Copies of this chain bind each other. A is one copy, B any other.
Amino acid sequence: MPATTVLDLNDTLRERDLPAASAILHPLAPQEAAALLEQLSPRRRTIGFRLLLKDQALEVFDSLDADNQAELISELGSAEVAAAFDNLEPEDRAELLDELPANVAKQLVRALSPEERDLTSVVLGFPRGSVGRRMSPEFIHGFTDDSATTVLDRVKARGHQVQSIYIVPVLDRGRHLVGVVSLRELLLADPEEPVGGFAKTPIYAHALDDAETTAERCVDRGISAMPVVDAEDRLVGILTLDDAIEIVDAARDVDEARAGAREPLRESYLLASVFAITKSRVVWLFVLAISAILTVNVLEIFEGTLEQKVALALFIPLLTGIGGNTGSQAATTVTRALATGEVHPRDAARVAGKEIRVGLTMGTALGVVGFAVASLIYGLGIGSVIGLTIISVCTMAATVGGLMPLLAKLIRVDPAVFSTPFISTFCDATGLIIYFMIAKAVLGI
């Protein structure tokens, strides 16, 4: 999407040149129009949405994020809202309902047809954060003894109702998942062949599995739809690649932003106001600054030592920098491994064992260099203090950095919140204590 189009659209809306804005929006595919609107301020987004063609509007609404949909709902007339809401897939509807005030949500659900209401409640029956909550409960299936033509006819008859028709789950007569066939295989197969004969091993998930890990797996394998089964291995829904991408992207945007000590920006960067950008950062900056006051307190304790040997102050930023970087390295590695399901909180001992050794190895390598350089310039005493501090700080920072994300996961906080920025601050303070303890011991002050 060329950024200029967003800026153009924004300009036309600011100047209230509605025909020009329509001329930009009308030729666009719904997903492109939604992507443009999502980058505007809420007020201009609503104006832009009202300019859409009637059919286009429904599809654009469907393509918007749930929080954008929720904002629009308060602005639109009730007839428009009912139409847009009815047009959504059950799982998107469940997500939107989570964003709406309870009374609005209730009213919208009441207006649904009984069938749509049932499908929505299947999804709402699974806990938040589970893949059951994000799957589509509408799917086309085949039984093992159905012929390719039978299944293909079912696809043609019901294809306009269900979201994914490119992967068809194959069930035994007890409705247990036994395989999948792709629409491509159905088209290319001998029409009379039973689908059980050419069904492939399915890549599937359990409804209570974590939505993020499952979505990550679906995207990673590049499969266009993943069947979802209940505890008895019976098919209950399908996670489409679309929805999986949305889950993964939303999670990664938040992780990435938090690792950079900010909240994700909801509008386009160039269009966002200074106020909006400041808002996304200032709280984090205050929290970190307040935690950093700890470092002032730590240094105060050692003010006497500092007065006796001012040269010690010269190395403060170097040492805290090394600690902070080592801690971030470990934290981002483990956060990523947690997201892909490679590591679980129960692996804490293995992670700690690994990070202690990695920290010690890196600390020794860096410490020897630090010792040599500092000894040459400031003498053996200061050299030894610097060398020993680097080894200790690296080991401590790697271990803390590796364990923090696991702790966060255990107490059900987003690991990204805990990771980089907090670890830096924590390592700064702890590193300073280690530094001055070693200095007092080695230099005898």
**In angstroms, how far is the closest chain B Cβ from the Cβ of A400?**
15
State which of A169-177, A229-237, A338-346 sits at the interface with chain B: A338-346
CA distance A285 to B364 in the complex (A): 12
Given the known interface contacts A29-B202, A277-B333, A342-B270, the answer about A328 and B261 at a Cβ–Cβ threshold of 8 Å is yes
Q: Which residue of B lies closest to A316 (CB)?
A: B316
Q: Which of A13-21, A127-135, A350-358 contacts B (4 or more CB under 8 A)?
A: A350-358
- 23 A-B contact pairs sorted by A residue (CB < 8 Å): A3-B344, A29-B200, A29-B202, A31-B223, A32-B203, A35-B220, A63-B221, A156-B187, A156-B188, A261-B325, A261-B328, A268-B342, A269-B354, A270-B347, A274-B357, A281-B362, A286-B366, A292-B317, A292-B321, A313-B313, A317-B428, A317-B432, A328-B421
Partner of A310, one of B201, B245, B307, B365: B307
A37 beta carbon closer than 8 Å to chain B = no
- In the assembled complex, how far is the CB of residue A209 from the closest CB belonging to chain B, in whole angstroms? 10
- Residue on B nearest A401 in the bound complex, by CB: B260
The interface size bin for chain A is 35 or more
Chain B residue, CB-CB nearest to A258: B332
Partner of A318, one of B31, B63, B295, B342: B295
In the assembled complex, the Cα of A49 lies from the Cα of B48 at a distance in Å of 54
| A249 contacts across to B, CB distance below 8 A | 219-220
For A180, give the chain B residue with the smallest CB separation: B29
A241 contacts B by Cβ under 8 Å: yes
Q: Is A300 at the interface (CB under 8 A from chain B)?
A: yes
Decide if A285 touches B326 in the complex (CB within 8 Å): yes
Q: Are A310 and B306 in contact (CB-based, < 8 A)?
A: yes
Using a CB–CB cutoff of 8 Å, the interface residues on chain A facing chain B are 1-3, 6, 27-29, 31-32, 35, 39, 63, 155-156, 159-160, 165-166, 183-184, 187-188, 200-203, 217, 219-224, 241-242, 245-246, 249, 252-253, 256-257, 259-262, 265, 268-270, 274-275, 277-278, 281-282, 284-286, 288-289, 292-293, 295-296, 299-300, 303, 306-307, 310-311, 313-318, 320-322, 324-326, 328-329, 331-334, 336-337, 341-344, 347, 350-351, 354, 357-358, 361-362, 365-366, 369-370, 373, 420-421, 424-425, 428, 432
Number of copies of this chain in the oligomer?
A: 2
Residues of B within 8 A of A342 (CB): 3, 6, 39, 268-270
